[in-house]
């Protein structure tokens, strides 16, 4: 079953997926402490505000590697790296769910809205990914009451907008410099 799943990806596709996975993990320890400077005094969960910056890689891969499962693979690779290396952002075994489900949701959404580079789809992809990740952590780890949960989800959506705009801009720049090829 897994062999059939991976046959649809070229070596180039898998390299891009691993690159985006690594970039998502690399930005997390940089973005999270900076965002905590803002979120901690406001008592907003930092992950929901910083999430747009590391969920944007899921939105980018859906356009650059336009095959079902590419965003899900990023989540799986990141979850396994978090678990094996024990780096920042680990929630133990729940990391497998909290990292892979946003990718799966982005892949499912891409089936509905398509995988073409559009600013509104990039924003929507990152919002959905960040809401999914924030929701999973809120339910399984934080167990926030209703009002703080709604604030965290609102913050996650706002961060998703910023991440979506940034991912759109980055893909345009990468395409301009011929570092990625957008498939029509």
Q: Are 180 and 16 in contact (CB under 8 A)?
A: yes
Report the C-alpha gap between 28 and 81 in whole angstroms: 13
Q: Does the structural domain 2-176 have CATH classification 1.10.3470?
A: no
Kindly give the parts of the chain with pLDDT less than 50: none
Report the C-alpha gap between 72 and 87 in whole angstroms: 20
| E strand or H helix that includes residue 41 | helix 11-42
pLDDT of residue 15: 94
Taking alpha carbons only, the member of 47, 129, 141 closest to residue 94 is 141
pLDDT of residue 1: 66
Q: Are 78 and 25 in contact (CB under 8 A)?
A: yes
Per residue in 83-128, pLDDT tens? 888 776 567 788 899 999 999 999 999 999 999 999 999 999 999 9
């Amino acid at each position: 079953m897994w062999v059939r799943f991976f046959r649809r990806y070229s070596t180039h596709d898998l390299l891009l997926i691993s690159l985006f996975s690594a970039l998502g993990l690399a930005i997390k320890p940089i973005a999270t402490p900076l965002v905590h400077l803002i979120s901690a005094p406001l008592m907003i969960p930092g992950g929901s505000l910083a999430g747009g910056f590391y969920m944007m890689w899921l939105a980018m891969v859906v356009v650059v590697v336009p095959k079902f499962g590419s965003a899900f693979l990023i989540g799986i690779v990141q979850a396994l790296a978090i678990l094996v290396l024990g780096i920042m952002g680990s929630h133990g075994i729940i990391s497998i769910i909290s990292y892979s489900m946003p990718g799966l949701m982005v892949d499912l959404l891409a089936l509905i809205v398509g995988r073409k580079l559009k600013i509104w789809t990039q924003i929507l992809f990152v919002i959905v990914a960040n809401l999914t990740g924030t929701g999973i952590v809120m339910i399984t780890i934080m167990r926030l009451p209703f009002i703080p949960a709604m604030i965290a989800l609102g913050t996650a959506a706002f961060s998703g907008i910023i991440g979506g705009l940034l991912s759109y801009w980055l893909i345009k720049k990468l395409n301009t410099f011929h570092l990625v090829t957008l498939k029509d």
